[in-house]
Amino acid sequence: MKQTMHLWCSVILLLPFIQSAPPGRPDALYDYDAEEIFEGMLFKQHFERHKMDTAANEQNGLIVPKGRFRRQDQNVTDATEAKDLPTCLACVCLSGSVYCEETDIEEVPPLPKETAYLYARFNKIKKITVKDFSDFPTLKRIDLTGNDIEEIEEKAFEKLVNLEQLSLAENKLTRIPALPNKLTSFNANYNMIKSKAIKANAFKKLTNLGYLYLANNQLDSVPANLPESLRVIHLQFNNIDSITDDTFCKANDTRYLRPRLDEVRMEGNPVILGKYPNSFTCLKILPYGSYFK
């Protein structure tokens, strides 16, 4: 009892000298926002249960082999019954989210009708076709990071009227397909995209787009007609060697401002930003990058 009283007295005496640590600068998230991280934690919790269920089902012959994922060009009378069960045995389906990560699938699996979030990262998917997402108006987020995607059919995402976030990072893309108008975040970092493969109005109609990630590609210029909604654009480690007064601002309008755009990353490009002082007059911050040789 005596020792306890001494301990509390010491703590009380030290209280005036204890200072809370200053708030640290939050680390930038590469691909995923806070909501995705939370969902990832849920996924990990359920994944352990899923592994035990998988082991039990495998012994009973309930697991569908890899080849079962491949679509057959034939009509299926009961799409829900035929499509939902195999995917949710091999992947994890949780409250409208489908997790097919590191499962070695070679194409987008058949999805349950109510799917809102698809995570199919780090697989062997090579191509996205129109029929992969032909009837999923509920989809809000698709993450295909870390696959082998070389081709995406032009209208593959056309019917995804509610899609807000799309990640195609770490693939083998050389061009960008048509993107849904409601998109708020698009990530195509670490691909092989060239400027000539991006249409002049590829981003113009995306009036909700706030985050555009095109780092580590083969761009030689900044994409044209960037939307007013843009808040963050990553263009670092490309081949951009020059910019113009119209790249971010408007050469003929000295009063034009871009108050929302507060992060422009261009480091790792051959362009010397200091040569183009009139290119940033509408921005509230200067881009990251080289200003001197």
Residue 156: Cβ within 10 Å count: 20
Comparing CA positions, the residue from 179, 107, 117 lying closest to residue 142 is 117
| Spatial contact of 197 and 176, defined as CB atoms under 8 Å apart | yes
237 found inside a domain: no
267 found inside a domain: no
What are the C-alpha distances in Å from 146 to residues 126, 275, 291? 11, 37, 33
Give how many domains the chain has, as a whole number.
1
| Spatial contact of 251 and 278, defined as CB atoms under 8 Å apart | yes
166 found inside a domain: yes
Sole residue written with tokens 């195609």: 168
79 found inside a domain: yes
226 found inside a domain: no
Token pair, residue 75, equals 């009509």
pLDDT tens-digit readout, 38-52: 444 444 444 445 445
Please count the residues of the chain.
Answer: 293
pLDDT tens-digit readout, 216-236: 999 999 999 999 999 999 999
Residue type, 271: V
The chain-wide mean pLDDT, for the chain, equals: 80
pLDDT of residue 146: 98
pTM of the model: 0.75
Instruction: Please give the residue range of the domain that contains residue 85.
Output: 32-192
135 found inside a domain: yes
Q: How far apart are CA 47 and CA 125, in angstroms?
A: 22
| Spatial contact of 169 and 190, defined as CB atoms under 8 Å apart | yes
pLDDT tens-digit readout, 78-127: 444 434 456 888 899 998 999 999 999 999 999 999 999 999 999 999 99
262 found inside a domain: no
- Any bridge partners for residue 211, and if so which? 185, 232
Q: Which residues of the chain have pLDDT under 70?
A: 1-86
111 found inside a domain: yes
pLDDT of residue 77: 37
SS3 letters across the chain:
CHHHHHHHHHHHHHHHHCCCCCCCCCCCCCCCCHHHHHHHHHHHHHHHHHHHHHHHHHHCCCCCCHHHHCCCCCCCCCHHHHHHHHHHHHCEEECCEEECCCCCCCCCCCCCCCCCEEECCCCCCCEECHHHHCCCCCCCEEECCCCCCCEECCCCCCCCCCCCEEECCCCCCCCCCCCCCCCCEEECCCCCCEHHHCCCCCCCCCCCCCEEECCCCECCCCCCCCCCCCCEEECCCCCCCCCCCCCCCCCCCCCCCECCCCEEECCCCCCCHHHCHHHCCCECCCCECCCCC
Q: How far apart are CA 177 and CA 187, in angstroms?
A: 13
pLDDT of residue 88: 87
Comparing CA positions, the residue from 197, 219, 223 lying closest to residue 209 is 223
pLDDT of residue 86: 67
pLDDT of residue 3: 52
pLDDT of residue 73: 41
- Looking up residue 97, the CATH number of its domain turns out to be 3.80.10.10
